[in-house]
Amino acid sequence: MMNENRNRKTGNTIPILDAGAGTVREVVPIVKTDEEWQAALTPEQYDIARKEGTEYAFTGKYHNEKEHGIYRCACCGTDLFLSDKKFDSGTGWPSFSDPVSPLNIRTVMDSSQAMVRTEVRCARCGAHLGHVFDDGPLPSGTRYCMNLAALDLTGKQT
Ligand SMILES: [Zn+2]
């Protein structure tokens, strides 16, 4: 497709929260071809983040992770979730009550697999992250059910 690089050329930016600094920055969306993503990611990351795969329950690399930090997009490094918003939903997939900011994700209706669900994507690069449900704990009431292969845990909070 000849339009793949349109965002890069026009310089359109989107606001993204830098969770470490606590400030909103204007950044250029990350647009890459399938071939570029395949070269940049592990096969598992590519399958889940770019091809909307779902990892098997209880296999996520951070399933029992007790470290504190920021979960970032494995594709582009955008801050997505804080470890202190992570909770055990009993589903086998890591769940978060809130993203670091609504700016950093976008949601898309997903009617695949005979269900209507709300898919969660990285706002900056469009990576498939998981789904969001409305049965989470209060006060947010939301449950972000994530594939950990799409996330990198970095930047310990102290
Ligand atoms: Zn991303």
Give residue-wise pLDDT tens across range 57-107: 666 655 555 668 999 999 999 999 999 999 888 888 889 999 999 999 999
> 130: closest CA among 151, 111, 144, 143?
144
CA of 58 to the centre of ligand 1 (A): 23
Helix (H, G, I), strand (E, B) or coil at 48: helix
- Name the band, by pLDDT with cuts 50, 70 and 90, for residue 40: very high
- Name the band, by pLDDT with cuts 50, 70 and 90, for residue 41: very high
Residues annotated as catalytic (active site), given as ranges: 145
Token pair for 17:
């929260």
* 43 burial type by CB count under 10 A (0-12 exposed, 13-18 middle, 19+ buried): exposed
pTM confidence score: 0.84
The residues placing their C-beta within 5 Å of ligand 1, an ion, are 73, 75-76, 78, 122, 124-125, 127
Sign of CA dihedral 63, 69, 70, 73: negative
